[in-house]
């Protein structure tokens, strides 16, 4: 039996390796993160501990959870919420620019609330469920999301106490 791969075996092996690499790139960080790590990738149920409320004492956008969790934490108008860090146009990663969100790929812009202020995006950013645990830490649940029409639901934000 020959030790060389024929063309078909090479293509199959290459495809399997590529799929394995893609799987690691998509889910590798979540699989390796220890449950309960502050700011770690979501564990069971999608909940991520983003720290105490005191970390969000003033209005503004926090981008430290953009990687690997792909969301921003915003304190605005007496509320703290977590919104997607992906543009609703083509899912490109957003950046914080002058107090709002901007898509460097196609030019869309979003207000700190997550509404579109400049296209081509047409939809507002998704928000994730957020709650406060008994220790006073905020938990973001990326398994539960809210479109703009549901932003006033109690699970979509936490009251920011002065």
pLDDT tens, position by position, 84-101: 999 999 989 999 999 899
More confident residue, 127 or 12: 127
Averaged pLDDT for residues 112-139: 94
Q: Tell me the residue length of the chain.
A: 162
Averaged pLDDT for residues 141-145: 94
As a whole number of angstroms, the distance between CA 83 and CA 86 comes to: 9
Which residue in 103, 100, 97 sits closest to 113, CA to CA?
A: 100
* E strand or H helix at 3: none
pLDDT at 145: 94
- Token pair for 21: 């690499």
pLDDT tens, position by position, 75-88: 999 999 999 999 99
CA separation, residue 25 to residues 105, 121, 156 (Å): 21, 26, 29
pLDDT tens, position by position, 18-67: 665 554 444 443 333 333 334 444 444 578 999 999 999 999 999 888 77
Q: Tokens 């609330």 label which residue?
A: 113
Is the distance from CB of 87 to CB of 106 less than 8 angstroms?
Answer: yes
Indicate the pLDDT class of residue 111, thresholds 50, 70 and 90: very high
- Token pair for 48: 């991520």
């Amino acid at each position: 039996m020959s030790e060389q791969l024929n063309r078909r075996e090479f293509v199959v092996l290459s495809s399997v390796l590529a799929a394995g690499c893609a799987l690691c790139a998509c889910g590798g960080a979540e699989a390796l993160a220890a449950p309960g790590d502050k700011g770690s990738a979501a564990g069971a149920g999608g909940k991520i501990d983003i720290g105490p409320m005191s970390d969000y004492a003033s209005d503004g956008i926090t981008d430290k959870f953009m990687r690997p969790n792909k969301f921003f934490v915003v304190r605005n108008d007496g509320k703290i919420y977590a919104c997607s860090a992906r543009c609703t146009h083509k899912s490109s990663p957003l950046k914080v620019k002058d107090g709002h969100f901007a898509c460097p790929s196609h030019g869309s812009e979003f207000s700190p609330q997550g509404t579109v202020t400049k296209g081509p995006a047409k939809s507002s950013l998704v928000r994730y469920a957020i709650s406060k645990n008994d220790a006073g830490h905020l938990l973001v649940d990326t398994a539960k999301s809210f479109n703009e029409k549901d932003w006033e639901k109690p699970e979509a934000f936490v009251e920011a106490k002065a």
